[in-house]
Amino acid sequence: MFKLSVFLLLACVATRGFSQTNPMELPLYTGKIPNEVPGPNEETREVRADKTVSLSKVRQPTLTVYLPAKGKGNGTAVIICPGGGYSKLAASHEGSDVAQKFAEQGVAAFVVKYRLPSAAVSSKPELAPLQDAQQALYVVRKRAKEWNINPERVGMMGFSAGGHLASTAGTQYAATQIPNPENINLRPDFMLLIYPVISSDSTVWHKGSFSLLLGKGASAEKQRQYSNDLQVTAQTPPAFLVHASDDRAVPAQNSILFYQALLKNKVPAELHLYQRGGHGFGLNNKTTKDYWFDRCLNWLASNQLL
């Protein structure tokens, strides 16, 4: 009887106890990971001098759940894809830190620890990140009632290469890359793209991200397929974008080209370009007193998403 009581208590905590102060990391897949190549788990975790955390060699993708305090949720959810050039994941300042901020504002947040493109992990490396992003949408919408989420207010967010992944999920959702027997909607309802990698145009691209995702010998056709400014249609979800004009790693033209494509297709969009800030500033662009996260909340509210 005692063991049964303990089990029931743990089950209750596992399904209802997530919060911004008590996040829970869950396996992204309950069964077989698509296109998995068997091998040892060599995932590495690095804590840098500035105390930010990065992960690499991800083999077992996860979803970390940050729910608002009881009674504070507004029904909106954001799935966050950290950046890292498709070589690592900036797990803290582009992941957990952001998720906590959203949860404080009543938005359920989910950080995806997605597989990075590697033949050692997946037989289809270029699809692995997108599969994990689609699986995150699948899981969040499937468990929406349990987590007090409106399944029609689930967005994707991404930083840098994570922004490329989020924008791929937002423009190429019609091609389902995961098992989806319930035919759950895999289209994000909105996108939040922070200094995102977008274009494969060699004059503005982040060459490293495209080389790692597609391989160094990728054809021009394949590069165009993953140039997400070229994939925008009238059905693409609304988007909020942030970039710094002096970004030398991922030029601001990436956001500008995506924004222009959204305007051309009459998709609601908002773009914030800061004079300075460089690349990888996460929540805090220290060159300005303006706080882009507040602009983001305003945009969500103006679109009836809060």
Q: What is the pLDDT of residue 14?
A: 45
Domain extent at residue 112 = 42-302
In a domain, 13, yes or no: no
Q: What is the pLDDT of residue 1?
A: 41
Average pLDDT (130-136) is 98
Q: What is the pLDDT of residue 20?
A: 55
CATH number at residue 233: 3.40.50.1820
Whole-number Cα distances in Å, 270 to 19, 62, 229, 275, 306: 29, 30, 15, 17, 17
Q: What is the pLDDT of residue 18?
A: 53
Q: What percent of the chain has pLDDT over 90?
A: 89
Domain count, the chain: 1
Return all residues near 216 (Cβ < 8 A) that are at least 6 apart. none
In a domain, 161, yes or no: yes
Structure tokens belonging to residue 72: 């504070």
In a domain, 1, yes or no: no
Cα separation, 36 vs 220, whole angstroms: 27
In a domain, 6, yes or no: no
Q: Where are the beta strands (DSSP E) in the chain?
A: 24-27, 44-47, 53-56, 62-66, 77-81, 89-90, 108-113, 154-159, 191-194, 239-244, 269-274
List the strands of the sheet with 154-159, edge to edge: 24-27, 62-66, 108-113, 77-81, 154-159, 191-194, 239-244, 269-274
Query: Tens of pLDDT along 18-66?
Result: 555 579 999 999 989 999 999 999 999 999 888 899 999 999 999 999 9
Average pLDDT (129-156) is 98
Average pLDDT for the chain:
93
DSSP state letter for 156 = E
The pair phi, psi for residue 179, each rounded to 5°, is -60, 130
Read off the pLDDT band of 187 (50, 70, 90): very high
In a domain, 33, yes or no: no
From its phi and psi, is residue 168 left (phi > 0), alpha (psi between -120 and 50) or beta? alpha
In a domain, 28, yes or no: no
Cα separation, 24 vs 94, whole angstroms: 17
Rg of the chain in Å (alpha carbons) = 19
Structure tokens belonging to residue 225: 């397929």
pTM for the whole structure:
0.92
Read off the pLDDT band of 7 (50, 70, 90): very low
pLDDT surpassing 70 at residue 149 = yes
Q: What is the pLDDT of residue 19?
A: 56
In a domain, 268, yes or no: yes
In a domain, 18, yes or no: no
